[in-house]
């Protein structure tokens, strides 16, 4: 049985990839069909589906089928908080480096 550390690592690994971050950003406004996701993020359908499946398996996304269409949504809104915190850290880091370059 997996422990808490392994589950946390699995979720963070599911988020730690540019295509998957694009998907998360696209799903901020709610559930979307795969047919909408891959063109919006500029990736091939097969590649997008692979990333969606991985994130769904890790517990990041939920999935439902409606006829032939498959819809994905962010399973826990707290995932967006994690992404937003990382974005803030990156912006602060970039700002700090920029200030250092100006001083030098």
- CATH code of the domain covering residue 41: 1.10.10.10
Residue 101 lies in a domain: no
Query: Is position 92 within any domain?
Result: no
* 12, 13, 92 from 8: Cα distances, Å: 6, 8, 25
Q: Confirm if 21 and 83 have CB atoms less than 8 A apart.
A: yes
Query: Residue 104 has what pLDDT?
Result: 55
What is the predicted pLDDT for the residue at 49? 96
Q: Is residue 43 part of a domain?
A: yes
Number of structural domains, the chain? Answer: 1
Please state the φ and ψ torsions of residue 72, each to the nearest 5 degrees.
Answer: -125, 150
Residue 83 lies in a domain: no
The predicted-structure confidence for 31-57, as pLDDT tens digits, reads as follows: 999 999 999 999 999 999 999 999 999
Residue 103 has pLDDT above 90, yes or no: no
Distance CA 36, CA 32 (A): 6
Q: Max Cα separation, the chain?
A: 61
């Amino acid at each position: 049985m997996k422990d808490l550390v392994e589950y946390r690592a699995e979720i963070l690994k599911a988020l730690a990839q540019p295509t998957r971050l694009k998907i998360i950003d696209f799903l901020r406004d709610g559930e979307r069909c795969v047919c909408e996701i891959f063109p919006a993020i500029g990736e091939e359908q097969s590649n997008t589906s692979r990333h969606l499946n991985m994130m769904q398996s890790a517990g990041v996304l939920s999935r439902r089928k409606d006829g032939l269409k498959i819809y994905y949504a962010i399973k826990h809104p707290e995932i967006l908080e994690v992404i937003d915190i990382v974005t803030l850290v990156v912006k602060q880091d970039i700002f700090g480096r920029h200030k250092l370059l100006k001083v030098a």
